[in-house]
Amino acid sequence: MKKIKTPVIAMFSTDDIMSDDVFESVEEAEENTNKQIPNVMKHNKNLSSTGYRDYKPKTNLRKPSDPSLKIIHKTILLGDSGVGKTSLLVRFDTGQFQTGNFSATVGIGFTNKVISVEDSKVKLQIWDTAGQERFRSVTHAYYRDAHALLLLYDVTNRTSFDNIRAWLSEIRDYANDQVVIMLIGNKADCSTSDRIIKKEEGEKLAQEYSVTFMETSAKSGLNVDVAFMAVARELLFKKTGVEVNKGSFNVQDYVREQTKTNCPSCSPA
């Protein structure tokens, strides 16, 4: 009998209303995935694989013909529940933002995205993680072999920003020293009256921890592509030691250059 492959996915059933913590199923387990989902978190096929009704992660059923695509760069989205991690990923993957309420299937999973960096290609394996404290011990296991971490807070939520230091502390404890870290202030499409965290606060915190910073909006698409492109370029540079067609690369300079003309009109400078 032919063995049927099932999606590799970790999830919990929950009664919480969490529009952010929705996790992507994986139709095909990657051969190069370093870690498998813990047995205690094996998927329940009776649960929906994603709370985004019209979203299904892309699958890679064929082995890549391009040798560069055999190298997978593990990229993890982190941050408190509700900051927009899944919305950011879905916006990047599909170019769309789904409004309204939807069910939340809580757990951890990944999807793949290939980014063209001039004449090179970078394959990101993007992991979406639960923001609640009760899932933290599970997500810690995925830090160690991560190549990039995108740490999000919500510019309309002070608590999510205040918790960034704790997240950075965990990163320091569990991630490798060479990991690429980007701090992201999400929901920058908000009105001035709704904004609580000024852009300057995010910049100051990022400078304190020597990490790259930018503001994004999964809703409007502001800087979403820029964030992942910056990560892809930095990972490519770390791998090759040479920026494509230039010879050197500074991710913070790249972000500054790409975002200086994209400031949302509804947000403070």
CA distance 209 to 120: 30
What tokens were used for 43? 């998927």
Structure tokens at 243: 């920026």
The CA distance from 240 to 252, in Å, is 18
The domains of the chain are located at 68-100+110-259
151 CB-contact burial (10 Å; exposed 0-12 / middle 13-18 / buried 19+): buried
Write out the chain's pLDDT in tens, 269 residues.
544 333 333 333 233 333 343 333 333 333 333 344 443 334 444 333 344 556 666 655 455 666 667 688 999 999 998 899 988 998 999 898 877 654 443 567 788 999 998 888 999 999 988 766 656 666 677 888 999 999 999 999 999 999 999 999 999 999 999 999 999 999 999 999 999 999 999 999 999 999 999 999 999 999 999 999 999 999 998 887 655 445 556 778 888 888 875 654 444 33
Residue 12: in which H helix or E strand, if any?
Answer: strand 10-12
User: What's the sign of the alpha-carbon dihedral 173, 176, 182, 186?
Assistant: negative
Give me the pLDDT at residue 30, please: 36
pLDDT at 175: 94
68-100+110-259 to CATH, choices 3.40.50.1970, 3.40.50.300, 3.40.50.1000, 2.30.30.60: 3.40.50.300
Question: What is the DSSP-derived secondary structure letter of residue 126?
Answer: E
The helix/strand/coil state of 172 is: helix
pTM: 0.74
Q: DSSP per residue over 68-112, as a string?
A: GGGSEEEEEEEESTTSSHHHHHHHHHHS----S-----EEEEEEE
**How far, in Å, CA of 152 to CA of 56, rounded?**
23
